[in-house]
């Protein structure tokens, strides 16, 4: 299946390939298939090994990830639609992730799935020792908040700018960003509950991601820790316009100070295609 994730409009959002019968596919073939799909991520659904409903493995065109947001939301949407449920627990490389969906009112039967909300792994964070290299690669003189590294499976460096227009205008040196290694550089600006973001991760095969659910949660943690948003407040993050894939993500952090109790990220998904792998 192909789903567009973090949108309810087909041909927008972040496209995702979902392989629902992946138990017999070896790891090297999964990586080759993800390279063939050439999307930000491809997800393979396998039988659960613990108490989840299924286990998933996630690949970019270049590497496997322990966790990523739009593959988790998209795989959960596929399973929820297939099995007629509103809650799915997926076993990921970063631990179990529950995803709960709203369901819109239907006629005589259950309505279509609405927005899903996943409870993500709580990230760790700390200073990033190559902050100067990140700013130089982005072509900016400085950031509004400390440039810090967050890890919730994937690794993300956060750069907060003073104006969404500056985020939109970024033309980064992708070779310099790739030299940083397996980190995504997440640039964000906004105020209140409305924020604009872009994510660059060339070292793992993602030049610019249309929607990055795994980074949206730590972004909300970063903003809350530094007093830019309130704990418990849901923010809306716009991403993907620069690659003609507009996406909308929702994020909320529960906690206080540096104590994080929960990180939630939500959005919609819509199926757009189905097919069969011939090799």
Q: Which of 41, 91, 148, 264 is catalytic?
A: 41
> C-alpha distances in angstroms, 42 versus 16, 28, 127, 177, 201?
6, 13, 31, 23, 16
Active site residue 41: yes
Show the beta-strand stretches assigned E in the chain: 2-5, 14-19, 41-46, 54-59, 64-65, 87-92, 95-103, 113-119, 124-127, 148-151, 155-160, 184-191, 194-201, 206-209, 235-239, 247-256, 259-267, 269-273
Q: Hey, what are 21's tokens?
A: 């019968």
Residues catalogued as catalytic: 41
């Amino acid at each position: 299946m192909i789903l567009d994730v973090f949108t309810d409009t087909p041909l927008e959002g972040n496209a995702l390939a979902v392989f629902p019968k992946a138990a017999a596919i070896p790891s090297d073939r999964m990586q080759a298939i993800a390279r063939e799909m050439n999307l930000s991520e491809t997800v393979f659904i396998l039988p659960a090994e613990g108490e989840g409903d299924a286990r998933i493995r996630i690949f970019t065109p270049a590497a496997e990830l322990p966790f990523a947001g739009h593959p988790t939301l998209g795989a959960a949407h596929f399973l929820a639609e297939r099995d007629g449920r509103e809650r799915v627990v997926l076993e990921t490389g970063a631990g179990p992730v529950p995803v709960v969906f709203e369901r819109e009112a239907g006629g005589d039967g259950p309505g279509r799935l609405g927005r899903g909300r996943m409870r993500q792994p709580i990230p760790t964070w700390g200073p990033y020792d190559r902050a100067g290299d990140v700013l130089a690669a982005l072509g900016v003189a400085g950031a509004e908040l400390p440039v810090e590294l967050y890890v919730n499976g994937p690794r993300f460096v956060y750069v907060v700018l003073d104006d969404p227009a500056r985020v939109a205008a970024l033309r980064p040196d992708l070779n310099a960003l790739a030299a940083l290694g397996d980190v995504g550089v997440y640039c964000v600006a906004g105020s209140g509950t409305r924020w604009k973001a872009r994510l660059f991760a060339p070292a793992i095969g993602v030049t610019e991601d249309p929607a990055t659910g795994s980074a949206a949660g730590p972004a909300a943690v970063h903003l809350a820790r530094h007093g830019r948003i309130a704990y418990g407040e849901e923010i809306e993050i716009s991403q993907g316009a620069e690659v003609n894939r507009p996406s909308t993500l929702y994020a909320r952090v529960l906690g206080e100070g540096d104590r994080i109790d929960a990180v939630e990220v939500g959005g919609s998904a819509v199926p757009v295609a189905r097919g069969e792998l011939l090799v």
